[in-house]
Amino acid sequence: MMTFDPISLEIMWSRLINITEECWITILRTAFSTIIGEAQDFGCELLDANANSIAHSPRSMPVFNLTLPRAVRAIFQAFPRELVVEGDVLITNDPWTCAGHLFDIAVVTPVFRRGVLVGLVGSIAHVSDIGGTKDSARTREVYEEGLQIPPLRLYRAGALNEDLAAIVHANVRRPDMVWGDIQAQVSANQVGAQRLLAFMDEYGLDTLEPLAHEVQHRAEVAMREAIRALPDGVYHGESQIDGVEEPLTLPCTVIVRGDRLTVDWTGVPPEAPTGGVNCTYGYTAAHTTYTLKCVLTPEIPSNAGCFRPFEVIVPEGTLLNCRHPATVNWRTLTGWYIAPAILRALAPLLPDRVQAFTGLPMTCSAYGVGVDGRRYNDHIMFGGGQGGSASGDGKSSVLFPTSAANVPVEMFEQRVPILVECKELMPDSAGAGKSRGGLGQRMTVRRLDERGGAAYLAIHPHGVRVIIPGLLGGQPGGRARLAATGVPVSSPGRSTSAFVELRRTDQRILLEAAGGSGYGDPRERPLELLQRDVDEGYVTAEGLAVYGAEATRQGKVTRQSIAPGVAAEPVLPDG
């Protein structure tokens, strides 16, 4: 078998990663929708001929890096490798074999060298529309959520599958935008395939197998060593989610045995009959193992080898392993709480490597018919506050646990007739701690004018009912909130998602993303950092109490005497 010296291996490994980065940039520059071109809700990956990950773009959506190999294996079950030919491009959005809901479409291009399949270049991207209802809180089956694409050929030996193209165009609200995004994926794959073949020519490689084996093996060895450094044992964590009608608990058990680590989700609630909050197994496993990878070997480039020492156990028929045809459209309302449960379990083991809970992003999609008679349909995403950690304060406006970006207000307003009147950080929304959380965001929107049809907004906040505690003595961040013209539309006892119809310019929607939780005892926060927080408007004079501090009339922060055993209450925004 071919051997590689360390320097050559590092260069070749980096070259493969760079190929996937060029694919990523191609999609970014050619996408039609804001959710892909601005929010960057997509990922690009290079796989070996057996559908095992070799490399992915460092900016790829993490969950897509881990679900694409599963999607490719499902495609190979429908189209055995011996039947796949050069020029084929394969596609699916099946939530149970792909990324968990219908909006995420996998496009995969097999790469042939001298007539032999040597690898695959693929991407998963969140398209702006997939048909179905926008009122996801009321759905009861995946059939209501949009167009389902089983594993199919998008191109047959280089020829477009015109029948499939016609079906997609007939089932989405903006076919030009959706089809444009799919073609951006096709183009990126083609770029990746060309670069891969040129790479193999340069190094005289007839197959990728030896190189793939080496990088995967080294990643696996590093992960096993990291696990082996942990004490054997059973560790518990949990997180709470808003749920459809009431808060629910996601308990997890982390089991360390030698060089293997198991996460067991036994005890999670049964799948929800409505609301789109269910997760498929692949989606749950991706979020679970990605969290472990970040904690244990953050410096090692990710590939299939990193995840071989892990086992993820999830009982079937539960919120984290739902059965077809359960409703899954807003699985993030559950799945984004997987990481904090695991981090809480690992906190006693690795206090310097975990972070407190991050205030989760909020998504607002707007659609309708504009003044020009054309249909519009687009998204704006904005993040909450990152959790604090041993390394410092959480950042504000972070879209954890994704790698997505905040959508610029100007881009959203250019695409849809909605005016963003306010977008600002919220003082005192950060969870107090020795390292405080990042601040939550507030945004107010209204109709631009009253011409054209009604504007429909689908809004999905996280953390309306539940407040996730901080870590190691830290305080929780402020809650998320959603209100329409001053009247709350999300409160305990109702779905936290909202579907709003705007017909007048005096109707306003207020959206507040949660702040990040704190890390460590807030009374240990240095005065100079508190002074900076006050000077920059992040913490008010009233908000200093939880830190055991106060501000003089001149604005100077000093220590406050607190009775022994008495902790001040955190200042939280209304909601």
pLDDT in tens, 448-505: 988 888 899 988 888 888 888 899 999 999 999 988 885 445 433 466 788 888 888 8
Summary mean pLDDT of the chain: 93
| pLDDT value of position 134 | 86
Tell me the two tokens of residue 301. 């480039």
Instruction: Tell me: pLDDT of 565 over 50.
Output: no
Q: In three state form, how does the secondary structure of 354-407 look?
A: CECCCCCCEEEEEEEECCCCCEEEEEEEECECCCCECCECCCCCECCCCCCCCC
Confidence band of 46 (pLDDT split at 50, 70, 90): very high
| pLDDT value of position 462 | 87
Helix axes 175-203, 162-171, angle to 10 degrees: 140
CA pair distance 133, 500, nearest whole angstrom: 13
Percent of the chain with pLDDT over 70: 95
Tell me the two tokens of residue 84. 């796949």
Query: CA-CA distances (angstroms) from residue 20 to 47, 92, 523?
Result: 10, 20, 46
Do residues 547 and 475 touch, judged by C-beta distance below 8 A?
no
pTM across the whole model: 0.93
Tell me the two tokens of residue 448. 């631009």
Where is 215: in which H helix or E strand? helix 209-228
| pLDDT value of position 487 | 44
CA pair distance 205, 49, nearest whole angstrom: 14
Query: CA-CA distances (angstroms) from residue 360 to 195, 363, 452, 570?
Result: 37, 10, 33, 19
Tell me the two tokens of residue 38. 């601005």
Residues 6+ positions from 568 with CB-CB distance below 8 Å: 545, 546, 547, 548, 562
Tell me the two tokens of residue 173. 């609200």
Query: CA-CA distances (angstroms) from residue 410 to 38, 419, 444?
Result: 11, 9, 14
Q: What single-letter DSSP state applies at residue 130?
A: -
| pLDDT value of position 573 | 44
- Least confident piece of the model among 282-291, 388-397, 408-417, 448-457: 448-457
Determine the average pLDDT of the residues in 282-293: 98
| pLDDT value of position 1 | 64
> What are the residue ranges of helices labelled H in 52-153?
62-78
Determine the average pLDDT of the residues in 529-540: 97
| pLDDT value of position 575 | 41
Determine the average pLDDT of the residues in 339-348: 96
Q: What single-letter DSSP state applies at residue 102?
A: T
The number of residues in the chain equals: 575
| pLDDT value of position 350 | 97
Instruction: Tell me: pLDDT of 7 over 50.
Output: yes
| pLDDT value of position 493 | 43
Confidence band of 561 (pLDDT split at 50, 70, 90): low
CA pair distance 405, 383, nearest whole angstrom: 8
Tell me the two tokens of residue 399. 């879209």
pLDDT in tens, 393-412: 999 999 989 889 989 999 99
Q: In which residue are the tokens 């048909």 written?
A: 131
Determine the average pLDDT of the residues in 522-547: 97
CA pair distance 385, 393, nearest whole angstrom: 10
Instruction: Tell me: pLDDT of 523 over 80.
Output: yes
Residues 6+ positions from 52 with CB-CB distance below 8 Å: 69, 212, 216, 303, 304
CA pair distance 72, 94, nearest whole angstrom: 11
Tell me the two tokens of residue 572. 């939280």
What sign has the CA pseudo-torsion 125, 128, 131, 135? positive
